[in-house]
Amino acid sequence: MRLAIAGVGNNASALAQGIAFYGSPQGQHLPGVTRPWLCGIHVTDVEIVAAFETDARKTGRPFTEAIFAGTNNYPVLPTGVTGPDPVVLEGITDPDHEAQIDRVADQLRDARADVLLYSLPTGLPQTALAYAHAAIRAGVHLVNCTPDPMARDEDVMKRATEEGVRVVGDDLQSHLGSSVVHGALLELVQDRGLTLSGSYQVNFGGNADFQNLVTNGSAKEHSKHNALRQRVADTGKVTVIPSGGFVPYLEDRKVAHISIEGRGWADTPVKLDVALGVQDSSNAAGVIIDLVRIAAAHTGGGEGGFPLLAAPLLKSAPIEGDVRHSMELARSLLEQASAQRNG
């Protein structure tokens, strides 16, 4: 499948280098891959054929150079990057400029992209919508890594459905991220019959995403609460701080501290503290590889809109009604899709 990327940051670097790693001898046993096959597409079948950026340190350079430029600090893997090496194109600098949107749409067509992965910094909702409209005009399916709305935007979804474009979003659930761990622990406390007194989650990191979230964290905070509500109905006693601080020393690593306090039998106290440390962009790429394959999958009828099987991999999936029932159905569909070895 042919992938275009908007935002040549650490996520793009982790994804591209990871695909090359899994195509190399040391990666052939697929460590860290949840679904080698998904919707008939293998993890190594993804090729990056176009990329868009506004950072002058990256634009006009080969993609394989740009992923190591600017503020990017994901580790350099020994396997490098294989496959096409497109020159990074100028992205959308003015989301209200129709000519820029049309230009990106034309470039997506020229690249014969199947999917556009949107992975720009959080807090640019109008830019996110501009890329969404460019992809829809080009007939290219969408994956949104950020909490800025695409799949939760009525106009985008109406147009995408009419044009047969799939929109997979919004905001991915990291492979083993703080929201996944926090949600599982809160669900455990609830299922075991304890009374929740209060809980918090604080995240720290040293990449550009964490630096941005210090001042643009409101959408991410809302998205993280959405993720927790997939596991427990009420998050009123839960505090989430997406970026408790930017720590340059950590580079692309993320550290999360999770604390849960409750009351047990005879109103006696229970306390649980967890520290999580991960390579932040690997944590994203391990899920992105599934989201882009879901978006690209040919379902037989050219259906547009949101594919339900992507819901378990997202924080803010556009699910209405009984969330738990929908998630159970989505997990079943995802399991079926992971068994498909041919398109």
Q: What is the pLDDT of residues 183-233, one digit of tens each?
A: 999 999 999 999 999 999 999 999 999 999 988 888 899 999 999 988 898
Task: Specify the pTM.
Answer: 0.93
| pLDDT on residue 269 | 98
Give residue limits of the domains in the chain. 2-173+283-338, 178-279
Same CATH topology for 2-173+283-338 and 178-279: the answer is no
What CATH fold (topology level) applies to the domain 2-173+283-338?
Answer: Rossmann fold (3.40.50)
CA 287 to chain centre: 7
Q: What is the pLDDT of residues 250-306, one digit of tens each?
A: 999 999 999 999 999 999 999 999 999 999 999 999 999 999 999 998 644 568 999
Domain 178-279 falls under CATH 3.30.360.10: yes
Instruction: Give the containing element (helix H, strand E) for 229.
Output: none
CA 71 to chain centre: 19
The mean pLDDT value of the chain amounts to: 94
Separation CA 16–CA 119 (nearest Å): 13
Enumerate residues 6+ apart whose C-beta is below 8 A from 17: 67, 74, 76, 77, 79, 80, 81
Q: What is the pLDDT of residues 114-128, one digit of tens each?
A: 999 999 999 999 999
Q: What is the pLDDT of residues 237-247, one digit of tens each?
A: 999 999 999 99
Q: What whole-number percentage of the chain has pLDDT above 90?
A: 87
| pLDDT on residue 300 | 46
pLDDT range class, residue 343, cuts 50, 70, 90: very low
- What is the CB neighbour count within 10 angstroms for residue 301? 7
In Å, how far are 127, 180, 327 from 120, measured between CA atoms? Answer: 9, 22, 27
